[in-house]
Structure 1
Amino acid sequence: MTIRLGCQTPKCTYSVPSADLFPTVIAHARKAESAGFDCAFLADHLYQPPTLGPPEGPRMEAYTALGALATATEKIQLSALVTSNTFRNPALLAKVVTALDVASGGRAVLGIGAGWFELEHNQYGYEFGTVTDRLERLDEALQIITPMLRGERPTFDGKWYHVESAINEPRLRDDLPILLGGGGEKKTFALAARFADHLNILCGVSDLPRKLDALEERCAEVGRDRSTLETSYQAFVFIDENGDHARQLQHDFLLNRGVDLSKATDTERAAATARQICGTPDDVAEQLQTRVLDQGIDGIVVNLVANGDQPGILELTGRALRPLVDA
Structure 2
Amino acid sequence: MTVRLGYQMTKFSYSTPIGELFPTVIAQAREAESAGFDAAFIMDHFLQAPVLGALDEPMPEAYTTLGALATATKKIQLGALVTSNTFRNPPMLAKAVSTLDVASGGRAVLGIGAGWFEPEHSQYGYEFGTLTDRFERLDEALQIITPMLRGDRPTLDGKWYHVENAINEPRIRDDLPIMLGGGGEKKTFALAARFADHLNITCSQSELPRKLDALEKRCEEIGRDRSTLETSFQAFVIIDESGDRARRLQHDFLLSRGVDLSTTSDAKRPAATDEMICGDPDEVAEQLQTRFLDKGVDGIILNLVVNGHEPGIVELAGRTLSPLVHG
Q: Same fold (TM over 0.5)?
A: yes
Q: Give CA-to-partner distance per residue, 1:253-304, whole Å, 9 cap, x none.
A: 1111112223334553333334310111000001111111111100111101
Give SS of 1:233's match.
strand
What TM-score results when the alignment is normalised by the length of structure 1?
A: 0.98
Tell me the residue number matched to 1:59. 59
CA RMSD, 1 decimal: 1.0
1:6-57 Cα deviation digits (max 9, x unpaired): 0012400011111111111111111110111100000000111112111110
**Residues 236 and 302 in structure 1, CA contact (< 8 A), matched pair in contact too:** yes
State the shift of 1:225 in Å. Answer: 0.6
Instruction: Provide the C-alpha distance between the structure 2 equivalents of 1:109 and 1:267, rounded to a whole number of angstroms.
Output: 41
1:133-212 aligned within 5 A: 133-212=133-212
| Residue 243 (str. 1) matches residue 243 (str. 2) | yes
Sequence identity percentage: 76
The equivalent of 1:22 in structure 2 is 22
C-alpha distance 226-266 of structure 1, shift in aligned 2 (>3 A): farther
Alignment CA distance shift 1:121-1:77 (3 Å)? same
SS in 2 for 1:277: strand
Aligned 1:208-287 pairs, distance under 5 A? 208-266=208-266, 268-287=268-287
Residue in structure 1 matched with residue 95 of structure 2 by the alignment: 95
The equivalent of 2:110 in structure 1 is: 110
Measured in 1, the distance between the counterparts of 2:33 and 2:73 equals 8
Aligned counterparts of 1:243 and 1:295: Cα–Cα separation in 2 = 25
Counterpart AA for 2:304: L
1: CA distance, partners of 2:50 / 2:266: 23
Is the counterpart of residue 7 in structure 1 residue 7 in structure 2? yes
Q: Distance in 2 between matches of 1:235 and 1:36?
A: 17
Secondary structure, in 3 states, of the residue corresponding to 2:268?
helix
Distance in structure 2 (CA, Å) of the matches to 1:139 and 1:269: 39
1:79-94 aligned within 5 A: 79-94=79-94
Q: Distance in 2 between matches of 1:39 and 1:251?
A: 29
CA distance in 2: counterparts of 1:269 and 1:230, whole angstroms: 33
**SS of the residue 1:154 aligns to:** coil
After TM superposition, the runs of 4+ consecutive aligned structure 1 residues lying more than 6 A away are none
Give a deviation string over 1:140-174, Cα, whole Å, max 9, x none: 10010000000000000111101001000111111
Asked if residue 314 in structure 1 is aligned to residue 314 in structure 2, the reply is yes
Question: Cα distance, 1:181 vs. partner?
Answer: 0.3
List alignment gaps of at least 5 residues for structure 2: none
In 2, the alpha carbon distance for the partners of 1:84 and 1:266 equals 37
CA distance in 2 between partners of 1:199 and 1:269 (Å): 30
Q: Separation in 1 of the partners of 2:274 and 2:129?
A: 28
> SS of the residue aligned with 2:169?
coil
Distance apart, 1:136 and its partner CA: 0.9
| Aligned mates of 2:233, 2:30 — CA distance in 1 | 22
- In 2 relative to 1, CA 134–266 (structure 1 residues): closer, same or farther, beyond 3 Å? farther
Q: Which amino acid aligns with 1:62?
A: A
Within 1, Cα distance between the matches of 2:269 and 2:233? 20
List alignment gaps of at least 5 residues for structure 1.
none
Q: Match for 1:257: what amino acid?
A: R
Instruction: Check conservation: 1:79, 1:108, Cα contact below 8 A.
Output: yes
